[in-house]
């Protein structure tokens, strides 16, 4: 066990002396090979110096993460890209102009400066320039290259609050910077630019349509994301693991909204009678219709941003309330809805029930 310092920091005051002192201290920890968790606009990251083998090894150990699952290298300016990649394709320049700093990660051919420990043995490297000002200042103070996976224990939902990081990593890392709630709440979109056609390996806030519009060309989507139970391995090694898994068994119920509510009411009552502690993930419109041990609304049904923002915190809350069985309404797959359903399906181990079928029984 090491002592983990927990330090509040305010994004809006990042230029001020007090916050600068914190950033300098955190940056020094990183350049000396230590680990610091920090906020980004997507989720909290667990940072280590991306160019030091030892730091990456420490990240894997702290998270309990398999070492074949590569890390994302975070940079704070476009000039920093040269050193870590072999070449910068023109698509990368276009996407950086449109979406950096922001929730987009690009896969490019790595240069020798990036150790294989950081890329999980791959010849490619994932790069992102985050938008959060605390993150940008920290990357700069650390020397420009911060490897950062989501700051959760492997297998738990990504942290959207510093308290989540503390729950998972207290005593395992040097410092946690508490910059409040991560505004998006889902991890960045990952796009692979190492093949002829750009391909989305992980959906996120930046949608396929947005990428296609910026590039003025078609963008592919990794097939394994579209087929549930696909036998082929996903191109992003991390997508093969059953991430984001709550302790309770999660089932998604899909169908017409009225039938979904009816089916979940029915299933919840059945489980309750069988002695289970039941949790329900629903929307503001349907919340009042349910009875269960724990009912959590993700927000208004049509507000994808609110759903993304609340989802992981709700999954964690169900764990602390010792819910054994969870039902979730399925959400629309429009826009960011695709990323939301991708994470929810993974959390549920692709367990989906059709509302109509349940009601017919």
Residue 40 near Mg ion by CB under 5 A: no
Map the chain to HEC letters.
CCCCEEEECCHHHCCCHHHHHHHHHHHHHHHCCCCEEECCCCCCEEEEECCCHHHHHHHHHHHCCCCCCCCEEECCCHHHHHHHECCCCHHHHHHHHHHCCCCEEEEEEECCCCCCCCCCCCCEEEEECCCCHHHHHHHHHCCCCEECCECCCCCCCCCCCHHHHHHHHCCCCCEEEECCCCCCCCCCEEEECCCCCCEEEECCCCCHHHHHHHHCCCCEECHHHHCCCCCCCCCCHHHHCCCCCCCCEEEEEECCHHHHHHHHHHHHHHHHHCCCCEEEEECCCCHHHCCCCEEEECCCCCCHHHHHHHHHHHHHHHHHCCCCEEEEECCCCCCCHHHHHHHHHHHCCCCEEEHHHHHHC
Interacting span for ligand TXA (CB under 6 A) from 20-28, 39-47, 224-232, 328-336: 39-47
Choices 90-98, 118-126, 144-152, 326-334 (CB under 5 A): range interacting with Mg ion:
144-152
Rounded distance, CA 262 to CA 195, Å? 46
Residue 285 CB, shortest distance to ligand TXA, in Å, is: 29
- Smallest gap from residue 203 Cβ to ligand TXA (A): 12
Binding partner of residue 71 among ligand TXA, Mg ion, none, CB cut-off 5 to 8 Å per kind:
ligand TXA
Q: Which residues in the 207-236 window bind ligand TXA by CB under 6 A? A: 235-236
The least CB distance from residue 281 to ligand TXA, in Å, is 22
CB of 304 to ligand TXA, least distance (A): 17
Which segment (80-88, 126-134, 272-280, 333-341) binds ligand TXA by CB under 6 A?
A: 126-134
The Cα–Cα gap between 298 and 279 comes to 13
Q: Which position among 22, 30, 62, 128 is part of the footprint of ligand TXA (CB under 6 A)?
A: 128
Shortest approach of Mg ion to residue 238 CB, angstroms? 6
From 52-60, 80-88, 129-137, 150-158, give the range in contact with Mg ion by CB under 5 A. Answer: 150-158
Q: Which positions from 7 through 36 interact with ligand TXA, judged by CB under 6 A?
A: none
Rounded to whole angstroms, how far apart are CA atoms 215 and 54?
37
- Check binding of 150 to Mg ion (CB under 5 A): yes
Binding ligand TXA (rule: CB under 6 A), the pick from 50, 71, 245, 281 is 71
**What part of residues 235-294 is at the interface with ligand TXA (CB under 6 A)?**
235-239
84-113 footprint of ligand TXA as x/- string (CB under 6 A):
---------------------x-x------
| Among ligand TXA, Mg ion, none, residue 271 binds (CB under 5-8 Å by kind) | none
Min dist CB 122 to ligand TXA, Å, is: 5
Residue 69 in contact with ligand TXA, rule: CB under 6 A? yes
User: Is 342 an interacting residue with respect to Mg ion (CB under 5 A)?
Assistant: no
Q: Taking CB under 6 A as the rule, does residue 148 contact ligand TXA?
A: yes
43 is an interface residue for ligand TXA by CB under 6 A: yes
Using the rule CB under 5 A, is 4 a contact of Mg ion? no
Q: Strand order of the sheet with strand 124-128?
A: 5-8, 175-178, 36-38, 45-49, 146-147, 72-74, 124-128, 104-109, 189-192, 199-202, 220-221
The residues binding ligand TXA (CB under 6 A) are: 40, 42-43, 45, 69-72, 105, 107, 119, 122, 124-126, 128, 130, 148-150, 187-188, 190, 201, 235-239
């Amino acid at each position: 066990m090491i002592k983990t310092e927990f330090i509040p920091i305010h994004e809006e005051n990042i230029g001020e002396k007090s916050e600068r002192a914190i950033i300098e201290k955190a940056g020094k920890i990183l350049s000396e090979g230590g680990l610091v968790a920090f906020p980004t606009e997507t989720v909290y990251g667990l940072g280590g110096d991306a160019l030091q083998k030892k730091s990456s090894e420490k990240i894997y150990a702290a998270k309990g993460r398999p070492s074949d699952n590569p890390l994302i290298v975070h940079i704070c300016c476009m000039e920093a890209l040269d050193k870590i990649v072999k070449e910068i394709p023109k698509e990368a320049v276009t996407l950086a102009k449109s979406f950096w700093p922001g929730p987009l990660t690009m896969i490019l051919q790595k240069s020798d400066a990036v150790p294989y420990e950081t890329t999980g043995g791959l010849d490619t490297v994932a790069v992102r320039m985050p938008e959060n000002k605390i993150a940008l200042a920290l990357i700069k103070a650390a020397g420009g290259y911060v490897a950062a996976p989501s700051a959760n224990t492997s297998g738990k939902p990504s942290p959207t609050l510093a308290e989540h990081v503390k729950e998972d990593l207290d005593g395992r890392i040097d410092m946690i910077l508490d910059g409040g709630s991560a505004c998006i709440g889902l991890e960045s979109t990952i796009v692979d630019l190492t093949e002829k056609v750009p391909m989305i390996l992980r959906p996120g806030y930046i949608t396929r349509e947005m990428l296609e519009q910026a590039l003025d060309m078609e963008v592919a989507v990794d097939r394994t994301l579209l087929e549930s139970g696909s036998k082929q391995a996903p191109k992003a090694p991390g997508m093969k693991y059953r991430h984001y898994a709550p302790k309770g068994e999660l089932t998604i119920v899909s169908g017409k909204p009225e039938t979904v509510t009816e089916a979940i009411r029915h299933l919840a009552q059945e489980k309750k009678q069988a002695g289970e502690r039941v949790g329900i993930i629903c929307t503001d419109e349907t919340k009042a219709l349910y009875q269960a041990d724990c009912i959590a609304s993700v927000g208004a049904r049509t507000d994808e941003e609110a759903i993304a923002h609340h989802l992981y915190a709700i999954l964690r809350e169900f764990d602390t309330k010792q819910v054994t069985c969870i039902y979730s309404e399925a959400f629309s797959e429009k826009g960011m809805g695709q990323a939301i359903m991708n994470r929810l399906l993974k959390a549920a181990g692709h367990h989906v029930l059709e509302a109509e079928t349940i009601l017919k029984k």
